[in-house]
Structure 1
């Protein structure tokens, strides 16, 4: 059975800093362009109207380019986003939003040095911008600079003690450093501020790797409650149940995991393990063969089939 040892959390993509408060004088397009609740599609459309009609100028026009760049980044239209953000920087070189958002584009392009340079500039222009510290921490983390990432995430938390994503990211650094107590504290704060599927999965993973299996199972159960059609909660709890010798419970969880994600090779393998332990030889053989179909040569599946005389 696979025993993953790395935390499966993903450093979250962060929402851009908006340039100026929305105001009635800007009209509906301006409101949607800078509105906090606008979807990426709505933001791009509205900001395009502002830009094309030249209804704004100066810093506010830079804001429209900055926010359209953000919307395009969220849509992963990175080259178009970069063009917009370059224009925002040209129009307002003292504007932290443009540098922060352009840094995110470079980060998505995995050009972490240029991303960090832009975040440096954003922080220089606005030292209170917690978002830029957290974004810079993400790029530093992706470069393997755990100490630099830790310092940035801590700075973001100091500036904004309610910044849930910064706790998640710092918790991941603690986890990588094998400081489980502090990782748990940060993930617990994340859950307090913004409970969700990944928050419980992340903390459950730390409990799992700390051999606190009942607590891990409880967190994965919360993940299932929050997102019952997401396979991650089911397959993580299934693994814990197999660890604990609850083969029927593990089988049931992997049934659900495979219902929602039939492409996960390890769910097939682990369900095969549960079936083999329960004496369902043919069912186990079928699952191990499916695992090998998805990943030819998978050692644990191949060895299990040999043990069952079906290798």
Structure 2
């Protein structure tokens, strides 16, 4: 658990530019979608943009990794998280630079309530793609469950900077605000 918390501290302290050291070259279309997402005015608009982003980010550049990712996602949807993790392990072995493989494995570990491994994979995800708002949001929710309100607040703030329309995240952030920033007199 201590190692996961140290990784978490590094995630929250690192500037986005430093975290993106393994990030692939910029994609103007993806950059444009993230810009639109940050300005989305409704959950529906944000969801549509987020789906476009996810479709683009799921493409690994390897037909083999993409096929395995399809199988891993199917396993996750069927609640076969152990199987999904094995498939995602193989993808990460093939393509260690593929942020979405780390992100989906973090999700599978989260579903198993294995927060230590999930946080470690979130660290790897965000090192490769600091704009992965789902990873930031998931990290925030795990930290709420773990009782770490300060770091949960920071993670959720980062998630909402990227996607201000994450369902339920603003309410959780507002609930944490008084505990983290204090109350007005």
User: Which TM-score applies when normalising by structure 2?
Assistant: 0.62
1:15 equivalent in alignment to 2:86: no
Distance 1:214 1:151 in 2: 33
Please tell me whether residue 202 in structure 1 is matched to residue 172 in structure 2.
Answer: yes
In structure 2, the residue matched to 1:41 is none
Where do 5+ consecutive residues of structure 2 fail to align? 1-49
CA contact (8 A) 1:149 1:173 kept: no
Larger radius of gyration: 1
Q: How do 1:1-311 and structure 2 match up within 5 A?
A: 15-16=54-55, 17-18=58-59, 20=61, 95-198=64-167, 199-207=169-177, 210=179
Q: Indicate how the Cα distance of structure 1 residues 202 and 114 shifts in structure 2: closer, same or farther if over 3 A, else same.
A: same
Distance 1:121 1:151 in 2: 17
What is the CA–CA distance in structure 1 between the aligned matches of 2:180 and 2:123, rounded to whole Å? 27
Root-mean-square deviation (CA, aligned residues, Å) is: 2.7
- How many residues align structurally? 131
CA–CA separation in structure 2 for the residues paired with 1:110 and 1:213: 40
Q: 1:130-179: per-residue Cα shift (whole Å, max 9, x none)?
A: 11111111111111211011111111011111211111111112111110
Question: Which residue number in structure 2 is paired with residue 91 of structure 1?
Answer: none
Shift in CA distance, 98/205, structure 1 to aligned 2, threshold 3 Å: farther
Q: For 2:176 and 2:74, locate their aligned partners in 1 and report how far apart those are by CA, in whole Å.
A: 31
Corresponding position of 2:30: none
Kept in 2: contact 1:154–1:170 (CA 8 A): no
| Bigger relative contact order (CA 8 A; separation at least 6) | 2
Contact 2:149–2:180, Cα closer than 8 Å, also in 1: no
